[in-house]
């Protein structure tokens, strides 16, 4: 199994409070709550690594980097235009199959564990 830092998803029961750098604070706290026995809905987090890979695999990261290079010398108007373009790219890019498959696999695993399927 891949180490946590290279996974696209992590189930709440795999998370600890110090995993916020992998999944954000809210998801890491859900992991802590689950470990403490506090009832929470079953689920998993899509990782920050998955988001980063989405930007790389779709080419969005390269396109944005070219728009604002070097980043320390970008005029406000150019930064605003780059932001508009970035939002458009993120909203219209197709999810890479490797990420989509990982998310769906863990979704189905979660459904199997709880006897329900929504998709």
Give the separation between CA 79 and CA 95, rounded to whole angstroms: 25
Q: Is the pLDDT of residue 68 over 60?
A: yes
Give the H or E element holding residue 111. Answer: helix 97-114
Q: Is the pLDDT of residue 27 over 60?
A: yes
Tell me, what's the pLDDT at 117? 64
Tell whether domain 1-54+97-119 is in CATH 3.30.1490.20: yes
Tell me, what's the pLDDT at 78? 85
Where along the chain do its domains lie?
1-54+97-119, 59-93
Q: Is the pLDDT of residue 119 over 60?
A: no
The segment with the largest mean pLDDT, out of 2-11, 61-70, 108-117, is 2-11
């Amino acid at each position: 199994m891949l180490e946590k830092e290279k996974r696209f998803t992590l189930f709440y029961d795999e998370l600890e409070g110090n995993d916020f750098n992998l999944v954000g604070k809210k998801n890491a706290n859900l992991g802590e709550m689950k470990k403490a026995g506090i009832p929470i809905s079953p689920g998993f987090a899509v990782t920050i690594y998955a988001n980063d890979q989405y930007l790389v695999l779709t080419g969005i990261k390269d396109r944005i980097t070219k728009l604002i290079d070097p980043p320390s010398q970008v005029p406000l108007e150019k930064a605003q235009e780059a932001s508009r373009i970035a939002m458009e790219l993120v909203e219209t890019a197709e999810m890479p199959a490797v990420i989509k498959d990982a998310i769906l696999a863990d979704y189905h695993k979660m459904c199997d564990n709880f006897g329900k399927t929504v998709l």
